[in-house]
């Protein structure tokens, strides 16, 4: 599975620029924040997703990637092997064999842990959920929102300020 997972990881990294907001390092976040003016009442928050990897079940992850490809079909190169990608993704996520204390087992729930593709898989899966469910609902309350894997940082505007609507995706 390692060869397949490495290939998936490589191909998923091509997709990362399509998930906004996306940042690759803390310098980007600091630069974005330096350009913000905080209105009165703004609240800075941070969060850490608990057990994010184990809560992304295979069925949800696979359907998220199918939706992601449909939603971004005009942005993804026609050279990208979408069908092959989805088939290999299903094989890797449904057949994760692990070793613990001289015993082998197959992971039955959650995403395939320990595989090279796990981190980017979780990032894209959760970011697609954020972009299609969470952010549309709360966009007017967010001056800034960003996440790196399972760490979230944002600036929340109370209802009195949400007429500002100054939130933009980080670059």
Higher pLDDT, 25 or 33: 33
**What local confidence, expressed as pLDDT, does residue 168 receive?**
47
- Which letter does DSSP use for residue 103 in this model? E
**Tens digit of each residue's pLDDT (9 = 90 or more) over 58-70:** 888 999 999 999 9
Sign of CA dihedral 114, 117, 123, 129: negative
**Tens digit of each residue's pLDDT (9 = 90 or more) over 67-115:** 999 999 999 999 999 999 999 999 998 888 877 788 888 877 777 777 8
3-state SS assignment for residue 24: coil
Higher pLDDT, 21 or 50: 50
pLDDT band at 164 (very low <50, low <70, confident <90, very high): very low
pLDDT band at 169 (very low <50, low <70, confident <90, very high): very low
3-state SS assignment for residue 148: strand
Q: Where are the domains of the chain?
A: 2-161
The number of angstroms, rounded, from the C-alpha of 49 to the middle of its chain's C-alpha atoms is 11
pTM: 0.75
Give CA–CA dist 123/150, Å, rounded.
Answer: 8
**What local confidence, expressed as pLDDT, does residue 163 receive?**
52
Six-digit token pair at 123? 């990032």
């Amino acid at each position: 599975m390692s060869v397949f997972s490495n290939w998936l990881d490589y191909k998923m990294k091509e997709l990362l620029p399509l998930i906004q907001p996306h940042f690759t390092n803390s310098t980007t976040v600091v630069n974005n924040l330096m350009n913000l003016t905080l209105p009165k009442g703004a609240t800075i928050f941070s969060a850490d997703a608990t057990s994010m990897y184990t809560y992304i079940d295979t069925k949800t992850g696979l359907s998220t990637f199918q939706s992601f490809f449909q939603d971004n079909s005009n942005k993804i190169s026609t050279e990208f092997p979408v069908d092959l990608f989805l088939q290999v993704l299903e094989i890797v996520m449904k057949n994760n064999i692990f070793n613990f204390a001289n015993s082998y087992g197959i992971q039955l729930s959650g995403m395939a842990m320990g595989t090279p593709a796990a981190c980017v898989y979780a990032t894209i899966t959760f970011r697609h959920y954020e972009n299609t469910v969470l952010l549309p609902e709360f966009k007017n309350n967010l001056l800034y929102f960003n996440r790196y894997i399972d760490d979230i940082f944002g600036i929340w505007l109370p209802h009195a300020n949400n007429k500002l609507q100054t939130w933009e995706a980080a670059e």
